[in-house]
Amino acid sequence: MSAFLIATKFAHDELGLSISEEASEIIHDLASAVVAKQTQSLQSEIDLLKDKIEALEKNQIKTCLICMENCAEYMWSSCMFFSSRPVAHVSVCQKCCLRISDGPYIERRCPICRATDGHWVRVDARA
């Protein structure tokens, strides 16, 4: 069905009007504008949701990668130099962080990316 026929049918069925081709074009343009507007508002809703998801990911309390029991509260300080953009690998709990700090030097590294030459930094997961 052509846009003209759709518009004509819509005008006839919904509005009780018999319309000219010119009028149907106007209705068609209006309908397109409405669709474009809806798409735009959907897009901004999607953007808003994306922001929310990102915030949730940042704030989520992860589990310690070593003991898999406590909340991860510490990140390794040098991870951010391994990537073009800053990264924070919040990976271990306080207990495991202390254990690693007291352990052999070779084990003092990020359990996720294995970055060495750093130290544990406490992160408030709820900040």
Question: 7 CB contacts (<8 Å, ≥6 apart)?
Answer: 19, 24, 25, 27, 28, 31
120 counts as binding Zn ion under rule CB under 5 A: no
Q: For residues 121 and 75, is the Cβ–Cβ distance under 8 A?
A: yes
- Which region among 11-19, 40-48, 52-60, 64-72 touches Zn ion (by CB under 5 A)? 64-72
Q: CA-based angle 85:91:93, to the nearest 5?
A: 145
42 counts as binding Zn ion under rule CB under 5 A: no
Among 8, 24, 27, 64, binds Zn ion (CB under 5 A): 64
* Residue ranges in contact with Zn ion by CB under 5 A: 64, 66-67, 70, 79, 89, 93, 96, 110, 112-113, 115
